[in-house]
Amino acid sequence: MRNSLVILVILILVGCVKHHAAQEFDLDKVEEASLEILESDIKTIQINELPSILSELEPIHVRIDKTGVFIQLDNLFASESGLFISRDNFVPETSAGVNPSFRLLKNRAYSYVIKG
């Protein structure tokens, strides 16, 4: 019985990493600040070096790669979620059942979930 309860609690907690809604953010400003980072060819950026609109989101981590900028807002165990701003030459797969999962919010701004 105890093992079943532990498994149930873990499943509930893993389900807490979710997609974000467009209404939670000023996406035009978030996209603009993210694109400035992409245009500068910065490979890594510290949280305290972020433009103010991004630091106000209180991200856990921000990473930049060949596809765009990942702004991690939530994490739980090996899963994470947040905002993704794509480079102009990259369009993420938005089909259901893929990992990472992307949902278009506006223009090049997506909500993402990575399940570990």
Domain range for residue 42? 17-114
What is the per-residue pLDDT for 59? Answer: 96
Number of domains in the chain: 1
> Hey, is 52 helix, strand or coil?
helix
User: Is 95 a domain residue?
Assistant: yes
3-state secondary structure 11-48: HHHHCCCCCCCHHHCCHHHHHHHHHHHHHCCCCCCCHH
- Convert the pLDDT of each residue in 49-80 to its tens digit: 999 999 999 999 999 999 999 999 999 988 99
User: Is 8 a domain residue?
Assistant: no
User: Is 6 a domain residue?
Assistant: no
User: Is 11 a domain residue?
Assistant: no
Q: Residue 14's pLDDT band (boundaries 50, 70, 90)?
A: very low
User: Is 5 a domain residue?
Assistant: no
User: Is 2 a domain residue?
Assistant: no
Q: Residue 89's pLDDT band (boundaries 50, 70, 90)?
A: confident
Nearest of 35, 21, 52, 43 to residue 89 by alpha carbon = 35
User: Is 12 a domain residue?
Assistant: no
What is the per-residue pLDDT for 44? Answer: 77
